[in-house]
Amino acid sequence: MLLGILKETAAGETRVALLPESLKALIAQGIAVCVESDAGVAAGAGDQAYAEAGATIVTDRSALLATADVLPMVNAPDAGAQASLKPGAVVIGFLKPLDAPHALDAAIARPATLFSMELVPRISRAQSMDALSSMATVAGYKAVIAAADRLPRLFPMLMTAAGTIPPARVFVIGAGVAGLQAIATARRLGAVVEAYDVRAAAGEQVRSLGAKFLDVDLGGISAEGGGGYAAELTEEALDRGRDLITKTAAHSDVIITTAQVPGRPAPRLIRGEAVEAMRPGSVLVDLAAPAGGNCELTQPGVEQQINGVTLLAPLNLPAEVPVHASQLYARNILNFLALIVKKGELSIDLSDEVLAGACVAHNGSPVNPRVAKLLEAVTTS
């Protein structure tokens, strides 16, 4: 069996799907590993390190695409690469099947077997493969560091002979994986932190990190969706959150916003007037930008200055921490591979709920029911 590690081609991508340290367990099973030259260089892993780990370095990307049996990737291959996959090849990565299902048509038609890391069910057994959580952890951390870097103030309270500096006030919206990491990071830097989430269950986690949880009376509406996620709220319920956010923004130096509802555009929670209410020099980081953004002024991928407030809307923060983002992702991929590779051979059992949940398509047909529905809906419309 040949496993290929390609250099990612998406603009700004610096991560790599497997690092040299990941290869030992694979090579011990008799798997041949080929790495496209410079695949890991931005993540601190040069060709020599891969070669020393037992991989073969190749420069012919097309030949690797055409011969690899398994291709762990960060992002989906483009249509041209998909069309040259070996029939029956397995591709694993953040394939975005719910955002752009037809962008995978060429791979499905080969037919390739596609596993999407976004679709790995969030059950205890699959926690070690939860790449969404790994990347959200990195993004939550980096968002605070980016904000601290832009803020013309210090984060910690300082008592000096020249006077006392008050701590920065940070407001985190959405206390899921990224939000909790943002709270922990801001607290470590000495900020006073407030946080808001529609899920009441988030309150205890927020408080355990030393931050204040802001509650909104949703008038009895349940905000809990399945699997620990939030449900989509009515406009009226969203408005109650928006009012709280506008009020809190006025005394916040930094807002980190992370609110998402799976499979839906990000909820618009921050009104333009909330940004206007922030003091000049304040910073807002909209981590929901890839899903459209939580702030109505957000332009995904664009950095803006609005009345002296810096609004950041990064699309790929984990790529700004490539070493550790790749390390975490590689471990998630390695744990996933253990489900489909037994004694060096591919063995895909789609009766396993983790594999069935993560599988976009197998033998030319969609597997995950949400993806199947999307592919069908777009095709017949």
Q: Which residues are catalytic?
A: 122, 127, 130, 133, 229
Name the residue number minimizing CB distance to ligand NAD. Answer: 176
Cis peptide before 101 (omega within 30 of 0): no
Nearer of residues 65 and 259 to ligand NAD, judged by Cβ? 259
Structure-token match 């390695």, residue found: 334
Provide Rg for the chain, Cα atoms: 22
Stretch that binds ligand NAD, among 19-27, 98-106, 197-205, 350-358 (CB under 6 A): 197-205
Q: Is 71 in the site for ligand NAD (CB under 6 A)?
A: no
Q: Which stretch binds ligand NAD (CB under 6 A): 4-12, 183-191, 222-230, 364-372?
A: 222-230
Task: Compare residues 77 and 176 and give the one whose CB is closer to ligand NAD.
Answer: 176
Amino acid (one-letter) located at 24: K
Size of the site for ligand NAD (CB under 6 A): 31
Closest CA to 354 of 68, 123, 58: 123
Least distance in Å: CB of 123 to ligand NAD? 6
Taking alpha carbons only, the member of 102, 120, 74, 67 closest to residue 322 is 74
Residue 173 or 256: the one with the smaller Cβ distance to ligand NAD is 173
One residue of 72, 101, 167, 241 binding ligand NAD per CB under 6 A: 241
Cα–Cα dist 179/313, whole Å = 15
> What span, in angstroms and rounded, lies between the C-alpha atoms of 157 and 380?
60
Cβ pair 256, 281 in contact under 8 A: no
269 binds ligand NAD (CB under 6 A): yes
Sole binder of ligand NAD in the list 43, 106, 259, 297 (CB under 6 A)? 259
- What 3-state class would DSSP assign to 226? helix
Q: How far is the CB of 377 from ligand NAD (least distance, A)?
A: 22
The Cα 171–Cα 186 span in angstroms is 10
Residues 6+ apart with CB under 8 A from 321: 138, 141, 142
The answer to whether 140 contacts ligand NAD (rule: CB under 6 A) is no
Under the rule (CB under 6 A), what is the footprint of ligand NAD?
122, 127, 130, 132-133, 136, 173-179, 196-199, 202, 228-230, 233, 238, 241, 258-262, 267, 269
